[in-house]
Structure 1
């Protein structure tokens, strides 16, 4: 009998653990649909608690909304050279309705593990062409012989903090973001492995099998030979390995090509410029050989997805244009819209903009994690309409407050709104002196002339500018035509349909887009105007209308956390995150919704 007591105790413990595991799995399934109680989720979900925090002592940190803080920070750099002997100024060429460099930028923007993107270019033409795309553009010397040299020689000039740099060829308009993320993930694994001689790894990359004989034999493609340990042995523009008969058939041997993706080891990147010159590198014109000649390792893995060819010459341009034009017509490469969260600005009408500093910081990190493109962080106005003493700081935002809330820029860009009748140019710094990239001008139609004057001023200061025509449904056909023409003429980045009364139907959402697009093209066939929509929820149609807007071609769509906003509120950020493939319905997003509901 005494011997049975330990056995009974053991069985009791096992039964208790099994019951606890069952409850945990049951609750996790339940909370994937009903995220209404953060407290009980963590109380009864010990698996989640230990996975995220490795111990009960870290419970307080698990309630933080900044889930990405411990992740290594990865910056993607697109080295952009204007001159090309085979296809001059190819990066600025149009490819199925979008500039080549812009396509590459937007492809990399979809990477889950990239926190920030920079363009390192060698000509002011590229800076000017990308001014509406991003502020993260660095003008470098035109003398850099290759992309690694350009990055290594200039990385110290950017203020952004980073742990790893990924170099993505800027002439890869259809680069697959899955391959970029895969290379980053492999590099992080190598760097964290205790058995890995990580200090001797120059970079990690991916390769893919060549299946086209013509491209195999072309010097445009860089071939690579990899050993069984995924170490690159040789790079060449010739076919390697070769054979006595000089007959090459990709069906007889799995020839591999380099994909133009490099995830650098920091030490190797900094040492690259001081490495001795390589005769092989000079002969082949392949920068990777300088690392191999110096004794570094290059780790190369099979790409998980097909990686499209890069744009080298006119043949490549014709091929890519024809291939992806057909896919566009078939609807397989439909352009995805940008998303802007305006919780702090529009949601401020519900609490007089009295958001806590920590809440705004957490919201920014949450939106970065969810891959929301813009966050509108408040107003920059004078005190004419709202007395500063009666509102929170977000109604009259200054740069010091902004930088306290967002100490460093990450994925999500920052926007602010100015009221046309409360505009004070003296409190608007040049775009180069602030984290704000997008200025939105709100006005009623009787103030249109003044709005265009403000737009011209802000564009001259280097901002992207959105024209937000409030109560757009009040415009007559003639007034709408005049609005679109004025917006195109002044060169604004966005023109917004503002459903101020929340009364638009899905059919009217489509109709506004079609009418504005036609009017813009009539005003200037070469216009670059982007069309946005701001939806209110008076008829309960905001989320449905946002999905219709994404389907019919709007370029940017507004939303707020829990739909918080003036009157009946707005479209819901968390709902759109569940519906839109380019956004992430992250756990931190729903945690923020829980805490936000309780606070405000």
Structure 2
């Protein structure tokens, strides 16, 4: 199979409900969106990186740091819609959707999600998971995923899944879904045009739209600890994790 041209798109908006302007929030003195962009650039399987945004402040911050930006409509209701508009403007076989509020993303994790496309020519979409504790699984802000024996998603939920009917089960395993996606570009454009589905709206999880329409999602495991920034207080947690990683690496 010939090499697949791969583009990473990082959707970013300024008007976050819980944390306005979070894309430009400083983490160790660097804007979060710039930190994400530079982390993605380190992945050798990525050929080009763009931030997809509707905000000139974000555009200026990224371009000042040497990054590339694609301006998109301000009317998008989701990050998927935003990257689909941007994807329509570029030439690529694969599109990697990396959230702009994941400053701890690692090149290794991105490569893990891209790699199956080099072996499975019918694969449309992939994502990541990491093992978590039962206490973490009880948090509805952490999306859980269960997979079949071939590592394809069976279901995503804000509820703890699976449900262990017998409390005495020795081994209770839960996986958090990591919101990084890889799509074949043509599938992404098709996916963005699909109507919202019942389960997608019930759980407020876009990826369920693919499952409800009969498409498979490959789920790869990673041990990388990610801390998404949803609220201002998450910045401190991210900075502590960066300090811990620096100590380990040095």
Q: Structures share a fold, TM > 0.5?
A: yes
| From 161, 174, 178, the counterpart of 1:259 | 178
Q: Deviations over 1:418-472 (max 9, x none)?
A: xxxxxxxxxxxxxxxxxxxxxxxxxxxxxxxxxxxxxxxxxxxxxxxxxxxxxxx
| From 181, 187, 198, the counterpart of 1:279 | 198
User: Is residue 223 from structure 1 mapped to residue 144 from structure 2 by the alignment?
Assistant: yes
For 1:308, the equivalent position in structure 2 comes to 226
| From 104, 111, 131, the counterpart of 1:209 | 131
User: Is residue 190 from structure 1 mapped to residue 120 from structure 2 by the alignment?
Assistant: yes
- 1:153–1:273 CA contact under 8 A, matched in 2: no
Distance 1:309 1:98 in 2: 17
Deviation at 1:71, TM superposition (A): 2.3
User: Is residue 240 from structure 1 mapped to residue 188 from structure 2 by the alignment?
Assistant: no
For 2:217, the equivalent position in structure 1 comes to 298
Q: Which runs of 4+ in 1 moved over 4 A?
A: none
For 1:131, the equivalent position in structure 2 comes to 63
- 2:23–2:32 CA contact under 8 A, matched in 1: yes
SS in 2 for 1:151: helix
User: Is residue 141 from structure 1 mapped to residue 73 from structure 2 by the alignment?
Assistant: yes
Distance 1:172 1:269, change over 3 A: same
Alignment of 1:362-511 (within 5 A): none
SS in 1 for 2:119: helix
- 1:259–1:307 CA contact under 8 A, matched in 2: no
Alignment of 1:504-519 (within 5 A): none
SS in 2 for 1:295: coil
SS in 2 for 1:127: helix
Distance 1:326 1:292 in 2: 37
Distance 1:74 1:279 in 2: 32
For 1:88, the equivalent position in structure 2 comes to 20
Q: Deviations over 1:300-352 (max 9, x none)?
A: 1212x424221122342221122323554x4837xxxxxxxxxxxxxxxxxxx
Alignment of 1:533-552 (within 5 A): none
Deviation at 1:122, TM superposition (A): 2.3
- 1:168–1:262 CA contact under 8 A, matched in 2: yes
SS in 2 for 1:88: coil
| From 5, 24, 46, the counterpart of 1:114 | 46
Q: Deviations over 1:183-232 (max 9, x none)?
A: 111122111xxxxxx1xx4301221111372x322232211111111110
Deviation at 1:135, TM superposition (A): 4.8
Distance 1:153 1:175 in 2: 23
User: Is residue 323 from structure 1 mapped to residue 241 from structure 2 by the alignment?
Assistant: yes
Distance 2:224 2:240 in 1: 18
| From 36, 39, 42, the counterpart of 1:104 | 36
Distance 1:273 1:212, change over 3 A: same
For 2:96, the equivalent position in structure 1 comes to 166
- 2:112–2:220 CA contact under 8 A, matched in 1: no
For 1:561, the equivalent position in structure 2 comes to none
Q: Deviations over 1:493-544 (max 9, x none)?
A: xxxxxxxxxxxxxxxxxxxxxxxxxxxxxxxxxxxxxxxxxxxxxxxxxxxx
Alignment of 1:14-53 (within 5 A): none
Distance 1:212 1:83 in 2: 33
Deviation at 1:72, TM superposition (A): 1.7
Deviation at 1:91, TM superposition (A): 1.5
Distance 1:96 1:227, change over 3 A: same
- 1:96–1:325 CA contact under 8 A, matched in 2: no
- 2:7–2:47 CA contact under 8 A, matched in 1: yes
SS in 2 for 1:300: strand
- 1:223–1:237 CA contact under 8 A, matched in 2: yes
Higher helix share: 1
Q: Deviations over 1:138-187 (max 9, x none)?
A: 121222222222122332224xx211111111111111111111111112
Distance 2:118 2:201 in 1: 31
- 1:276–1:294 CA contact under 8 A, matched in 2: no
Q: Which has the higher contact order (CA 8 A, sep 6+)?
A: 2
